[in-house]
Chain A
Amino acid sequence: MIETGGHLLNVVIVLGTVLTVAAFLIWYERRLLALWQDRYGPNRVGPFGLLQVVADMIKIFFKEDWVPPFADRFVFVLAPMAIMTAVLMSFAVVPLSPGIWVADSNIGLLFILAMSSMTVYASVLGGWASNSKYALLGGLRSAAQMVSYEVFMGISLMGVVVLTGSFRLIDIVEAQSGLWNCIPQFFGMLIFAVAGIAETKRVPFDLPEAEAELVAGYHTEYSGMKFGMFFVGEYLGVTLISALTVILYFGGWQGPLLPPIVWFFLKTFAVIAVVILLRASLPRPRFDQLMAYGWKVLLPLALLNLLATGVAVLL
């Protein structure tokens, strides 16, 4: 009974934390982007504009829940739910700090890969169900991009798994008490970061929604809270990829003096800041260039990295 209660508490803590962080990211990204673009960003609502998120939330909750008449209604509504669900499920196996996790799974990493594969359905189904040409093109782009980059993401992670000998995220964190994986797995980390950003469809991999070309890509026809779910799903994805980067390569919650949870968040927000900095500084490659880069550069590099790690472990 007490154990169940503890689990429930953990669920509430993790869910609450993750959703709060995702919402907070709206403010965090807008302020950081503004800083790098010589502007102020939201600074009117509450201290430092922090309550802007609350204002935006209130606004979006009261928007009309509208489905375009030409859309496939059922799938159209399902798609944004799929992205939220898939990403939130992934967080179930993410350990925030010792004792704060929902599920301690010995195949945690595989579970996350499986769930992140699910998110592609959201954009493909959303693009398809919208019955609009821009959304369709966006959906197609996202399918091709995510299926490709998933491959390298999986392979790049295997280096860490080989080093640790476990798919369990807690094991992976604890194995880094001496040396963080970002040193031995430097290339693996780079590939994972690139593939991770591609998975979350962030600049420079935002081709599925490429504003200048496809208006808003697969979510062109979405509005109100359904759009909001895509939006929050994207931020959840960023949080997930950043948290995973920290867990897999930067020693998770480990660090001197400060409590583990603080370390974990400090590191995660630092990684998120890098993701936002990329958005502020890079243009968008063309679709064929993106694909060529993935298959011709990242895939061989990921395989080489795995090979080298395997050889090193064997010797």
Chain B
Amino acid sequence: MMSAPEIAQELSEQLVGSITMVQETRDEIPTFWVTRDQLPAAAERLCRQIADPFTTLFDLTAIDERERVHRDDQPEADFTVVYHLFSFARNQHLRVKVPLHGEHPSIQTSIPFWVTANWYEREVFDMFGITFDGHPELRRILMPPTWKGHPLRKEHPARATEFEPFELTDDDEDAEQDALRFRPEDWGMERRTEDADFLFLNLGPQHPGTHGVLRMALQLDGEVIVNAVPDIGYHHRGAEKMAERQTWHTYIPYTDRIDYLSGVQNNFPYVLAVEKLAGIEVPDRAKTVRIMMAELFRIASHLVWYGTFAQDVGALSPVFFMFVDRERIFDIVEAICGGRMHPSWFRIGGVAHDLPQGWDRLVSEFLDYLPGRLDEYDRVVMKNRIFKARTRGVGRYRREEAIEWGITGPNLRACGFDWDFRKRHPYGGYEAFDFDVPTAQAGDCYARAEVRIEEIRQSLRIIRQCLDNMPGGPFKADHPLTTPPVKAATTKDIETLIHHFLGVSWGPVIPPGEAFQGIEAPKGFTGYYLISDGSTGSYRTRIRAPSFAHMQTVPWISRGVLLADLLAILGSIDFVLADVDR
């Protein structure tokens, strides 16, 4: 791994002529500005021509720059399109920014360079009204097709009360009804070929097999899937827009609900990114507590996946066993945090409270309890012959394909690639822990299951280390931007009291800048890209969610399989619709 200035040096030499400037950010990810016209040439070089190229487009988003005050010496722009690239060979993030001018600017599509750009460009179009020339189907992805306006533009209202009172005229109703009509052509499907009339099956958004409000339009030949097109956005709550009207502190509970199965795992990248912007160093005890809670939630998330995956394949009982175990985790979470599924427990600069008395006994009991249960589940689920017959060889992809499609987390490790951001890019104190990165070779549904189950065992190992080596000391950083500061200190010194008062009543003012932090969340690579304009709330919050990237791969994985296999594939990918739609 090279340091940021080195890599910037190397790449700017290779990209000479394309780069207009190199921006400094708080996260030390090399950030290049490239003009609109130079983008295809730069993309070509980055993804194909340089040594160890950036083959993965992790994220593609935009920033509405029109109201931003602190832009320092960045190039003039009304909108900026941001490409977040990653090279597994280099273990290196890279950010490419393109300035755009005008109310509804356009830019060349980058699908030829990175396949994942497809859905991300649709999202940027949907949210900002930026068009991508050459995109094969540039239509809305999260908002309904009849929506007016582009929500993440600064002039778009954030609250319902800022809109005109809602009125549904007869004409509007007809238009809405008409928009609901299913036309296969709109989804890129043919009605018939020479030797087959296709059956179109609408799967969801209310369907017992889709784990939430996912809709899939299926083109079937008998029970064989010719084409499966996901229709997402039913769980879209505008989390990124909400970030722009919440304070840095009060946004934490919203993050819990992004991947709603893994609680504090969502707080993690957010508070780490804010801490980068604010320059806060977190004390050891807070780090260890955070890791312990994060791993507990990783187990909770994997247990839900385990049970529901077995249920997707038709086994009725396992889900009950796993929910009982998850309940035990929630008992611990409740004792420590007070909340259960969404404890919103991390704070800027630490965690909300110190650990309660007796927490160690609870955790230790759980550590002794779960391994036996996991062994039993191996016999009940993983060794079952029907289960194997249903999952082996189904939904298979290779490592190179997974990298190209931006697949991360257990889904990537199931193709024999031991890539874990906790090991490769340690964050929040993971470098101090001893654990293995489980992998499987086959890259099919069964392999993905094997990886997750072994991950539960590894998480138990990490929690055991937290339990045995819990450091003493403060649970919050001694820093003016820690929100809220330790209450006891406020009664003794006036400075802390002032910060406490401001942090609670107004919200902390985070210095201007940009920072990204990604973590190895249970579902994959989750990252928060925060832009502060020197105010009490973020100017732009971008959430890179693994489920969105994984959902994009479903049509590709499930072509040619049977309907029953599709449900096994959906189950094995382990997505949460709230994480897809945000």
Name A residues whose Cβ lies closer than 8 Å to a Cβ of B: 33, 36-39, 133-134, 137, 203-204, 206, 210-215, 279-289
Contact = CB atoms under 8 A, between A and B. Distances in A.
A284 B314 contact: yes
26 contacts: A33-B316, A37-B317, A37-B320, A38-B320, A133-B201, A137-B201, A203-B316, A210-B314, A210-B564, A212-B209, A212-B311, A213-B564, A215-B208, A280-B317, A282-B314, A282-B315, A283-B315, A283-B387, A283-B390, A284-B314, A284-B386, A285-B386, A285-B389, A287-B564, A288-B562, A289-B389
Interface in B427-486: none
Contact of A36 (B223, B310, B317): B317
Contacts of B312: 212
Interface in B281-328: 310-317, 320-321, 324
A84 B208 CA distance: 28
B565 interface: yes
A137 B380 CA distance: 30
A286 B564 contact: yes
Contacts of A283: 310, 313-315, 381, 384, 386-387, 390
Interface residues of B, number: 30
A33 B318 CA distance: 12
Given A283-B390, A285-B389, A287-B562, A213 B567 contact: yes
Given A38-B324, A213-B563, A213-B564, A284 B313 contact: yes
A289 B391 CA distance: 12
A213 B314 CA distance: 9
Across chains A and B, which 5 residue pairs bring their CB atoms closest together, nearest first?
A284-B314, A212-B209, A283-B315, A37-B320, A283-B314
B199 interface: yes
B68 interface: no
Contact of B320 (A39, A134, A282): A39
Contact of B316 (A37, A38, A285): A37
A133 B314 contact: no
Contact of B314 (A134, A203, A280, A288): A203
B48 interface: no
A215 B313 CA distance: 13
A286 B386 CA distance: 9
A131 to B, nearest CB: 13
Contacts of A282: 314-315, 384, 386
A273 to B, nearest CB: 15
B207 interface: yes
Given A37-B316, A38-B320, A282-B314, 14 more contacts: A133-B199, A137-B201, A137-B223, A212-B208, A212-B312, A213-B567, A281-B317, A284-B313, A285-B314, A286-B562, A286-B565, A287-B564, A289-B386, A289-B389
Nearest to A36: B317
Interface of B: 199, 201-202, 207-209, 223, 310-317, 320-321, 324, 380-381, 384, 386-387, 389-390, 562-565, 567
B68 to A, nearest CB: 48
Nearest to A207: B564
A11 B471 CA distance: 78
B101 to A, nearest CB: 49
Contacts of B387: 283
A137 B324 CA distance: 35
Nearest to B562: A286
Nearest to A136: B199
A38 B327 CA distance: 13
A21 to B, nearest CB: 23
B34 to A, nearest CB: 47
Nearest to A281: B317
A95 to B, nearest CB: 34
A292 to B, nearest CB: 10
Contacts of A137: 201, 223, 563
B386 A211 contact: no
Contacts of B315: 281-284
A279 B311 CA distance: 12
A39 B317 CA distance: 10
A283 B384 CA distance: 8
Contacts of B202: 133
Contacts of A213: 209, 563-564, 567
Contacts of A280: 316-317
B207 to A, nearest CB: 6
Nearest to B565: A286
A38 B317 CA distance: 9
B317 A286 contact: no
Contacts of B317: 33, 36-37, 280-281
B390 A37 contact: no
B181 to A, nearest CB: 16
B380 A281 contact: yes
Contacts of B201: 133-134, 137
Contacts of A214: 563
A36 B380 CA distance: 12
A215 B210 CA distance: 11
Contact of B390 (A38, A39, A286): A286
Contact of A204 (B314, B381, B562): B314
A138 to B, nearest CB: 11
Contacts of A204: 314, 386
Contacts of B208: 211-212, 215
A282 B383 CA distance: 11
A279 B316 CA distance: 7
A85 to B, nearest CB: 30
A44 B483 CA distance: 49
Contacts of A215: 207-208
Contacts of B207: 215
Nearest to B313: A283
A210 B389 CA distance: 17
A287 B223 contact: yes
B505 to A, nearest CB: 48
Contacts of A211: 208-209
A36 B208 CA distance: 23
Contacts of A39: 320
A289 B389 CA distance: 8
B372 to A, nearest CB: 14
A29 to B, nearest CB: 11
Contact of B321 (A38, A203, A288): A38
A18 B416 CA distance: 56
